[in-house]
Homo-oligomer: A and B are copies of this chain.
């Protein structure tokens, strides 16, 4: 066994596509309490009060909702170089660009399912303006106590045609560690895999797209500090007329405490806390079979049908692919 070196430090930023930029911005800024730090054309860059990078979420106007670029931060210039080589070796690389707001040069690529990704190293730390400076020297920005008051970006879940292929790419080409997986049909059908470059339980999940499509998003996930904050978020969302699809409740895999709503452009957004950290270097993958997995919910009600069926952008099921796929909750 060769020694693992952690070349990807963490999920750096997500770009979300939205057909309703202004309504999406209102959702993230006024309801979730994130801060808008830059507006460029039909894009808005946002951040949580605890994010150290200048921006961790970018909204870009588009015909349809979905996920734009997924940015991974490398652990060092050398690590960046090694990963770019690996991606190129796998034939999935595209090109370098100059870097966007708050970041240095980034190398563009796609995962096997076609989701757009990039990897970069240089990043600008956030320097809060006077009125947003925290009284805590180690907090990058004032706790504004506005709405849900999201602390930071946490992870995302991607739908894909072939979980095993994308999972292997994340492990071998990006160097992620597999934490948990759901496998049905006596171990022959991999329905979902949760992976991470870091001790965070997962920073990306690959989940089978029950409609047989590719390149789609299941959800992005934003962190709050505890379960009481997730409960509070439910009240804030409800009072603002935002649809709550599921939760607050607790998943069995990941142990995460979740709340799913749709931002106003149509993308699913999770407010998240709990879960667990993995510091052990020899983690044993936790594999759930059909029976163990149950509903994917540790407590109470099962997840609704929409949770299995709906992703962004919406598509009509590809019948050839879809028929062999069991109903499955992609937490």
A residues apposed to B, CB below 8 Å: 3-6, 9-10, 33, 50, 52-53, 73-76, 78-79, 123, 125, 134-139, 142-149, 180, 198-200, 225-229, 231-232, 234-236, 238-239, 241, 244-250, 252-255, 257, 259, 274, 276-282, 284, 286, 288, 292, 298-304
Establish whether residues B286 and A138, one from each chain, have CB atoms under 8 Å apart when the complex forms: yes
- 12 A-B interface contacts by CB (under 8 A): A4-B76, A138-B276, A139-B255, A144-B239, A145-B146, A145-B236, A225-B226, A226-B226, A231-B250, A249-B249, A301-B301, A301-B303
Establish whether residues B199 and A246, one from each chain, have CB atoms under 8 Å apart when the complex forms: no
Cross-interface CB contact of A299 among B76, B123, B234, cutoff 8 Å: B234
In the complex where A236-B145, A239-B143, A247-B299 touch, is A76 in contact with B137 (Cβ < 8 A)? no
Establish whether residues A252 and B136, one from each chain, have CB atoms under 8 Å apart when the complex forms: yes
Establish whether residues B137 and A286, one from each chain, have CB atoms under 8 Å apart when the complex forms: yes
Cross-interface CB contact of A300 among B79, B145, B244, cutoff 8 Å: B244
Complex contacts, A235 vs chain B, CB 8 Å? 143, 145
**A176 → chain B closest CB, angstroms:** 14
Establish whether residues A279 and B135, one from each chain, have CB atoms under 8 Å apart when the complex forms: no
Instruction: Give Cα A102–Cα B311 distance, bound, in whole angstroms.
Output: 45
- Which partner residue on chain B sits nearest A149 by CB separation? B145
**A84 → chain B closest CB, angstroms:** 15
In the complex where A6-B6, A52-B280 touch, is A241 in contact with B135 (Cβ < 8 A)? yes
**A274 → chain B closest CB, angstroms:** 7
Complex contacts, A139 vs chain B, CB 8 Å? 255
Establish whether residues B252 and A10, one from each chain, have CB atoms under 8 Å apart when the complex forms: no
**A38 → chain B closest CB, angstroms:** 20
**A269 → chain B closest CB, angstroms:** 15
In the complex where A145-B147, A180-B138 touch, is A198 in contact with B299 (Cβ < 8 A)? no
